[in-house]
Structure 1
Amino acid sequence: MSKRILITGGKGLIGRKLTDVLLSRGYQVNHLSREPGTNAEVNTFVWDVHKGQIDEHCINGVDTVVHLAGANVSEGRWTDERKKEIIESRTKSIGLIYKLLKSKPQHTIKTVISASGTGFYGDRADTLLTENSAPGTDFLANVCLQWEHAVEVGESLGLRLVKFRMGVVLDAKGGALPILAKPVRFGFGAPVGNGRQWMPWIHIDDVIAMYLYAIENEDLAGNYNMVAPYPVTNQQLTVAIAKELHRPLWLPKVPAFALHLALGEKSNMVLGSQKASAQKIDEAGFKFKYPTLIWALKKLFGPS
């Protein structure tokens, strides 16, 4: 079993929860961060991706790298400068690690497990998307494509690579769910667009469990959709949230043109449709704790 894990993006929603679970299971955890860490149980090493600087000691004794680092795609307007930052925060960061590995041929790293997103597929209406489906052509698809290509450089270094195309992560305290639930709580919830766009989702506990599964199962390699096995549409998700919160839905759907006016190209994040299949990871032996949306929401909105 791996004993020391290096995490990029360790201070994010997923990174924090994954760190806690790994520590509870006896792993040693290193973080790469722009600032010194405050968790005494974690060894934090400083890097500056923009300047190409990295503490070479971050890989000492490390078996597996979990690459979560990347600028938040939902923050800020998608100017040309912001788009460049979103892409390079993902590609240059893993490139900096690979450069370090090349300079340290005696390193002990065997595996890189990277995030990606179901945005890889673009807007695909009702098509069932497997890991062999072609990439989309919009900005988010390009981000995921370049991210995965940057990670794939690790093949030339003899590394085992796992790339998770992550759907909408449902967590009660962060990510998309509190944003989706807020207008519903106040009685102003409504589906967006035509409501028929598929929203690949996954409970945060299954996200962490899947990363752990990849760390501990050396036979796992390649691309996997990180989504629950029963996808839902935007309307189905909105209705399910309202039902769980015991709130009415009385407003008409938010028209797509209004979102385009308000958000521009960024509206693709909520109007795009990806009906992503979980069959591959299921056949690889992963067991979902929350396979259905109702079960997931009851856990997330129920008593803690």
Structure 2
Amino acid sequence: MQLSPKYELNNGVKIDVLGYGVYKVPAEECLDLVSTALDAGYRTVDTAALYGNEEGVGAAINHSIAAGTPREELFVTSKVWNTEQGYASTLAAFASSMERLGLDYLDMYLIHWPCPAQDLFIPTYKALETLYHQGRVRAIGVSNFEEPHLRQLLEAVDVVPAVNQIELHPWLTQTKLRAVHAELGIATQAWSPLSRGTILDDPVLLEIAGLHGRSVAQIVLRWHVQSGHLVIPKASSAQRIAENLAVFDFILDASEMSRINAMDKGQRAGSHPSEVN
């Protein structure tokens, strides 16, 4: 069994550097795939209300606990969806997520998108702070926030987000936003770390993968790890699930890291935060 190294968030809570993401994992497959990931050594699972598979995630987590895995070794993240933003509605959304997950507490809860046109992310985050202070969530954070959203948020709240989960991969390296995270003490967590697969035929990555005898996905995930990102790749087969976690036994040299960093072209596989409301 391969285990990911841990990363200490800004409040001292530890999370796996590499976890398992379940975006677009069908609800009926989620129990089996998350169980497969947990058996392979994953300890962090990332879901969201939007994904419609919190029940499967919770069932897999509870099965693992029943089989002897201590709850404190597992880390579960979920997110409040855009239509539930606002203080009271966020608290209600959290309660619904917890009922679906079947857990006593959540390890991390995020605002899924800033939705600036709604102008509700501050009261939404204040609801997250309430949950955090009540001990119902071990860490809170945001997802898809740009620098202006982060700075506006930090002027109005007390708890600095533990993470900002953003689209991040070699075609979208987010250098400026990552520097803002470093300045503010916010961890960068990459969603779509493989650009939804569109990056896997890139000739630079194919060449580096050949030199290491690794898959392109492993090269990209290793680049994330060495860049200091937290990362949550999705995989839909036992082979890929295991392969994605097997990236801690080799190193990319400085030249290879530079070549991958130079691939940035600002190309998104998902939506831009300013377009989501």
TM-score, normalized by the shorter chain, greater than 0.5: no
TM-score (norm 1): 0.33
